[in-house]
Structure 1
Amino acid sequence: MYRIGEIASLMNLSRRTIDYYTHLGLLNPVRTDSNYRMYGEESIKILELIEHYKTLNMPLEEIKSAIRMINSHTEIDKEKIEKHCEQIANLMDHLKEEIKVMEPILQKLNNNEKEILVNKLSLQGVTLAQTLLLLFG
Structure 2
Amino acid sequence: MLRIGEIASLMNISKRTIDYYTQKGLLNPVRTDSNYRMYGEDTIQILRLIEHYKTLNMPLEEIKSSIKMLKSENTIDKEKVEKHCEQIAVLMEHLKEEIKAMEPVLQKLNKDEKEILVNKLSLQGMTLAQTLLLLFG
**TM (normalized to structure 1)?**
0.88
Say which SS state the counterpart of residue 89 (structure 1) adopts.
Answer: helix
2:48: which partner in 1?
A: 48
2:113: which partner in 1?
A: 113
User: What is the aligned length?
Assistant: 137
Amino acid at match of 1:43: T
Q: How far off its partner does 1:74 sit? A: 4.5
Say which SS state the counterpart of residue 73 (structure 2) adopts.
Answer: coil
- Of the structure 1 ranges 95-104 and 72-81, higher mean CA displacement relative to structure 2 is found in 72-81
2:94: which partner in 1?
A: 94
2:67: which partner in 1?
A: 67
- Of the structure 1 ranges 105-114 and 53-62, higher mean CA displacement relative to structure 2 is found in 105-114
Q: Structure 1: which 5+ residue stretches go unaligned?
A: none
Deviation string, structure 1 residues 42-87 (Cα, Å, up to 9, x no partner): 1111111111111211111111101111111243111111111111
Runs of 4+ that moved beyond 4 A: none
Distance 2:89 2:3 in 1: 37
Deviation string, structure 1 residues 115-134 (Cα, Å, up to 9, x no partner): 44334434433332232222
2:30: which partner in 1?
A: 30
Q: Rate the CA distance shift 1:15–1:69 in 2: closer, same or farther, 3 A.
A: same
Find out whether 1:131 has 2:131 as its counterpart.
Answer: yes
Say which SS state the counterpart of residue 44 (structure 2) adopts.
Answer: helix
The alignment yields a C-alpha RMSD, in angstroms, of 1.7
Distance 2:6 2:118 in 1: 34
Say which SS state the counterpart of residue 38 (structure 1) adopts.
Answer: strand
Q: Structure 2: which 5+ residue stretches go unaligned?
A: none
- Of the structure 1 ranges 111-120 and 48-57, higher mean CA displacement relative to structure 2 is found in 111-120
